[in-house]
Structure 1
């Protein structure tokens, strides 16, 4: 990687970290979307770096957040998402470049659909969604997490629609994604896919992400949840475009 590539890398990490701490998700989405746009890293390397840096981003929240979680929905979605991580990672290990492009298109379309479903849902339900719904979206989230380390869209969609406080939403998402990251990293170490480039990039960025997360945790931006939802919508749409554009170019030139 050139000096410019490292600059792009840290810029992507910084933007992803800011979005993550504001909304409770989006670290992997923003990072992967920007990295794909600039072509700085390949998909597998970027996904493993995301997994490791997600833990750095989650540490301040894991230490300080005490917001009570809706236990049954949380553990139901978590159990299925961890199974989904295993499935998604298994699929990733058998992809060639062409199939990777199609999966990027699938991810981009999934993100786009989730973003419009979220913003078009004007009325927040008065009670929590059913456990089967949490299981479905948790499993789908895990598969995307295994494939791309971007488990956000399905789980974000279902959690942001619940009648719970923003602090609870953030904790729900942070804990889920941290658990997914731990499982994904463990499996990648077992499979021998954590190379020196991944270790070096993660080691360089880990303190940076940790400090940014601690600062944002200490001095949070307290915006209304409706404003946060709109920001989430914009982030999802931009990430979707950043994934679909280079994939479309590849197919048109193929």
Structure 2
């Protein structure tokens, strides 16, 4: 990797860390999207790198905030996420390219519709959903992660629709993504994928990630709770468009 690409990658990780600390999500999606779009590094390397820097982000974002977390909701979602990631990976292996593309197109449309409808009505639900609902959102998120590498949308939609404060929501999401990242790090280490290049990139990016996370904690943007929810749902719409666009390209190339 050239010095210019490294500088861009580190800058993107810093900006994405700031965004994630404010909203509870976005680090993986922003960095992966920028890396793919600008050809900064191989996808596999970036995926492993993201697992490491996500741990750095959470280490700086969560101290002193754990009392805000709805532990039952986080526990139910996490129990749903972890096994369904494996199911998603296995399911993708059994689907041919055309079927996979059609499924991704459908999922993208559902995600975009969900984000749009929620953005138009950003007020939270009148009462907290049951633990089963959080478990289902975790299962859906895990399947998306295993099949398409995008685990956030069901979890983001689920938590941002709850009658919780923005602080409670973002801390819960950061913790869930931390658990999944830690699991990926263990798996990557077991498979021998944590090479010297990945550790070097993590060493370069982690200080910036921590710095921007601390900056976001002390100097957040002046957004109201409704504005923050609309921002989250707007990003969901963008993810839906991305999934649909990628699916269309896969279908075109498959012919």
Compute the TM-score of the two structures, normalised by the length of structure 1.
0.83
Once the two structures are superposed, the pairs formed by residues 8-47 of structure 1 within 5 Å of their partners are: 8-47=8-47
Whole-angstrom distance in 1 between the partners of 2:70 and 2:94: 37
Aligned length, in residue pairs: 254
Paired residues of 1:27 and 1:54 also in contact (CA < 8 A):
yes
Secondary structure class of the residue paired with 1:63: coil
Paired residues of 1:37 and 1:243 also in contact (CA < 8 A):
no
Deviations 1:195-248 (A, max 9, x none): 333222222101110111112112233421111122223333344445654664
Whole-angstrom distance in 2 between the partners of 1:180 and 1:99: 27
Distance 1:93-1:70 versus aligned 2 partners, 3 A rule:
same
Distance 1:185-1:108 versus aligned 2 partners, 3 A rule:
farther
Distance 1:46-1:109 versus aligned 2 partners, 3 A rule:
farther
Paired residues of 1:143 and 1:151 also in contact (CA < 8 A):
yes
Paired residues of 1:34 and 1:242 also in contact (CA < 8 A):
no
Whole-angstrom distance in 2 between the partners of 1:20 and 1:61: 9
Partner of 1:131 in structure 2?
131
Paired residues of 2:21 and 2:61 also in contact (CA < 8 A):
no
Once the two structures are superposed, the pairs formed by residues 75-224 of structure 1 within 5 Å of their partners are: 75-88=75-88, 108-109=108-109, 111-146=111-146, 150-224=150-224
Secondary structure class of the residue paired with 1:154: helix
Distance 1:141-1:176 versus aligned 2 partners, 3 A rule:
same
Query: 1:233 and 2:229 equivalent?
Result: no
TM-superposed CA distance for 1:184, in Å, is 1.2
Whole-angstrom distance in 2 between the partners of 1:101 and 1:201: 32
Q: Which runs of 5+ in 1 are unaligned?
A: none
Distance 1:248-1:78 versus aligned 2 partners, 3 A rule:
same
Q: Which runs of 5+ in 2 are unaligned?
A: none
How big is the alpha-carbon RMSD for the aligned residues of Structure 1 and Structure 2? 3.1
Deviations 1:4-63 (A, max 9, x none): 322331232123112111211111111112222223233322221111111111112221
